Structure 1
Amino acid sequence: MEQNLFESVKQNICTCATGPQLTPNLESLLKSPMKEIHVSLPVRMDDGTIRTFQGFRVQYNNARGPAKGGIRYHTDETIETIRGLAAIMTLKCALHELPLGGAKGGVVCNPKAMSKGELERLSRAYIQALDCSIGPDRDIPAPDVYTNEQTMGWMIDEYIRQTGCVHFGAITGKPLSLGGSEGRHDSTARGGWYCIREAAKETGIGMEMKETSYSPESKAETGEAAPSVAIQGFGNVGYNAALIGKEFAGCRIVAVSDSSGGIYSDEGLDVAGVMKHKKETGSVRYFPGTEDITNSQLFELDVDVLIPAALENAITEKNADEVRAKILAEFANGPTSPAAEEIMNKRGIHIIPDLLCNGGGVIVSYFEMVQNMNMDHWAEDYIYRRLDEKMTRAYHKVLEFSKKNSITMRKAAYTIALEEVVDAMKARGWV
């Protein structure tokens, strides 16, 4: 049985080869969230009945600044997963040099089976239940799995109603009309592709990333075969990963999948067409001109880049031997179990760990906070340029540390991040 995400994170913390010495007090602090909130949310449904939903918010550590992290709506949400995600966010912010701590939230529900009105009432109930625990100087929520800018619009409105404080920086990932940031919708995927671009140089894959779209003939003109990419998950992150990979990196997106299965075409997929098909049918499956495959078969494809962009523990010791990609780019949080990673490292697969690879979302969320605080609005190209700089610098920092100490990319990322968090804890007198 695979260990839960929080256990995996704690294992990674404790196996940092060159990190700070974990004294009993320090280890205790790092293995326990600073604050947990469990709430029951009574919500009136469209048929007039009242249903009660369970919700969580975990503020893992705020040594470096106010906590920051998304909110998920999912049927299988657990407090253990939320703890793990909050810990990852803490270390992610530290790795990317953001003055923030880490948090995560979730509600156990099936958003696909709820109306827009029910989702709005649930979202407002969640903010009401958190009371004074969130705010721009305490804990700043953002969208995550099955939440979006509309969800954040409802939440910021409820926050303003409850506090009387018109401070749009209390929540990020908002609509542009409510102080949202340009570039936020695809920031996780775009940041990940900046890392893949650098990893392609390291692994010898011919790839570049342009600020303007590739023409269909661009690869053919050089005689090079376009790098092949498979993406597990076709929500916001997965779709944008496919679109950016095709339009700006000139790759062939040969396979994508969602919870019901996947599709494959060696010639490359019409990404926008697949999304239109998914919206019309509820799934990517049976898209014309493609071969239906399972999620398991997607992981087994002989591709240059494999992108898990869905939920945690997608790659375990049961299927790690079947992964044939040259680069594994973790656009999702915790998609690879420790046992699976050990198998793939021995096989020479270049793994870009989640702490590093999917930092684009929180980086642009931070940009959104800064813009809100300064009552400013930045241009999209300026945001993309700053995101590129931060992601590229972080990638090479982790890569160089990995090589210097003969450790994996994940251990390097965890060690760098952990040292930043521990330094802040020591400076504040916690240890």
Structure 2
Amino acid sequence: MTLPDSAVVPDAAGPLVDAMAQLHKAAATLELPDGLHELLGSPRREMAVSIPLRRDDGSIAVYSGYRVQHNFTRGPAKGGLRYAPSVDLDEVRALAMWMTWKCALVDVPYGGAKGGVAIDPRTHSTAELERVTRRYTSEILPIIGPEVDIPAPDIGTDERTMAWIMDTYSVARGYTVTGIVTGKPLSLGGSQGRAMATSRGVAHIALLAMASRGIDPAHATAAVQGFGKVGYGAARFLAEAGVKVRAVSDVDGAVYAHDGLDIAHLAAHVERTGTVAGFDGAEAIDPASVLTLDVDVVVPAAVEGVLTEENAPKVQARIVVEGANGPTTGAADAILKERDVLVVPDILANAGGVVVSYFEWVQANQAYQWSEREVNDRLEERMARAWHDVVAHSGAHGMTYREAATVLAVERVVDAHRLRGLYP
């Protein structure tokens, strides 16, 4: 099967290449006709916007922003908003496609979307980021809504960003619309357990993966790349389960302790200094080495494309749990498969965030708040169900977990599409 000429054609390298290759393989396995394959590979809607910003010193800067809605077949589009200098349209397209598969895999009634602004939030004041967020929201306002497309936090954004989006949207509508975003502050209709949901899901899946390989958490070791929203929580929950987290890294450095880092003290250090670098409870190491340390589990929890053809042969871990979206390139995937390294794919491993985002959206629609215990119990049940679905499909069809997860997700979207039909 070949990709139809009219489908989105990515650049020669990057996350969209990997996303399209994964879809191509799933489509071939499912023997999808070319037209349906093309439909699944093409975003339903894309918007690129120019975002002018009056900076605090009075100068004017202009940034590029994007919102891509990949699929609506199973429900409204859902996906995060990323602020990073590297953001471009192909990256957002890939992330939106992965969101479609992620939502289908964990059986939440959403399609996939993603947004991004090519800006470095670390070099802007809070007031500047608020102005950027509100202008971006006003530009994409015609294509978002609680029944259309629901943004959420991602790299470089947080619950405060979501509050600005909610307020901007609500002002435009003339009444408060809490369901327009998820990942909001609790006082504005957010959900208990949402802040740590992705991390908690990563830890649940990592522990299930360890059990599948006969690894006792009490005698296990791990390394986590990234110490932000996902990485910190993943490290914390793994440590609470008895795993020795030997190393973590962020954009400024990496630290290592053979007998395990004190995650609580490290988090306090990061709160004071903004980085893991300089933590006196560990030794400094090369950040690139975190992925190849002698540990049982590696959790890449930062950005895409960090496990590559160059470093995959050096990975010593028996298990890779993808806390980030698209951290493993296609070439690295093939190498890790050959070396019998178990790779738990992003659309399974880090789906906890969208699961609890769904719970938050449901609570907003009901004007009712669940307890944190209810949220966490339902999250664990949903993640365990998806894990067992993937393991069963993998075993029955001789697939890697990524192949099995993608085939299952694509098949669910295809089934919904076939039931709905094509209009007109």
What is the TM-score when the length of structure 1 is the normalising length? 0.93
What SS class does the counterpart of residue 81 from structure 2 fall into? Answer: strand
| The one of 324, 331, 346 aligned to 2:338 | 346
| The one of 168, 181, 185 aligned to 2:195 | 185
CA distance in 2, matches of 1:30, 1:4: 19
Partner residue in 2 for 1:102: 112
Partner residue in 2 for 1:13: 23
| CA apart distance, 1:273 | 1.9
| The one of 381, 404, 410 aligned to 1:389 | 381
Residue 234 of structure 1 aligns to which amino acid in structure 2?
A: F
1:203 corresponds to 2:213: yes
| CA apart distance, 1:44 | 1.5
1:64 corresponds to 2:74: yes
What SS class does the counterpart of residue 224 from structure 2 fall into? Answer: strand
1:41 corresponds to 2:34: no
- Count residues with an aligned counterpart: 413
| CA apart distance, 1:2 | 7.7
- Give the direction of change, closer, same or farther, for the CA distance of 1:2–1:327 in structure 2 (3 Å limit): farther
For residues 182-208 of structure 1, the C-alpha deviation after alignment (integer angstroms, 9 at most, x for no partner) is 00011001011111121111100013x
Deviates more, 1:63-72 or 1:48-57: 48-57
Residue 387 of structure 1 aligns to which amino acid in structure 2?
A: L
| The one of 253, 271, 274 aligned to 1:261 | 253
Partner residue in 2 for 1:112: 122
Say if 2:82 and 2:154, in contact at 8 Å, map to a contact too: yes
Residue 244 of structure 1 aligns to which amino acid in structure 2?
A: F
CA distance in 2, matches of 1:118, 1:273: 32
Say if 1:19 and 1:419, in contact at 8 Å, map to a contact too: no
Aligned pairs (5 A) from 1:19-418: 19-207=29-217, 225=219, 227-247=220-240, 249-418=241-410
What SS class does the counterpart of residue 215 from structure 2 fall into? Answer: coil
Say if 1:313 and 1:336, in contact at 8 Å, map to a contact too: yes
Say if 2:262 and 2:281, in contact at 8 Å, map to a contact too: no
Identity, in percent, stands at 45
What SS class does the counterpart of residue 199 from structure 1 fall into? Answer: helix
User: How well do the aligned residues superpose, as a CA RMSD in angstroms?
Assistant: 1.4
CA distance in 1, matches of 2:237, 2:16: 31
What is the TM-score when the length of structure 2 is the normalising length? 0.95
Say if 2:27 and 2:37, in contact at 8 Å, map to a contact too: no
Say if 1:314 and 1:335, in contact at 8 Å, map to a contact too: yes
Residue 242 of structure 1 aligns to which amino acid in structure 2?
A: A
Say if 2:261 and 2:281, in contact at 8 Å, map to a contact too: no
Residue 232 of structure 1 aligns to which amino acid in structure 2?
A: Q
Say if 1:58 and 1:103, in contact at 8 Å, map to a contact too: yes
Say if 1:181 and 1:378, in contact at 8 Å, map to a contact too: yes
Structure 1 residues without counterparts, runs of 5 or longer: 208-218, 220-224
CA distance in 1, matches of 2:422, 2:313: 43
Partner residue in 1 for 2:6: none
What SS class does the counterpart of residue 30 from structure 2 fall into? Answer: coil
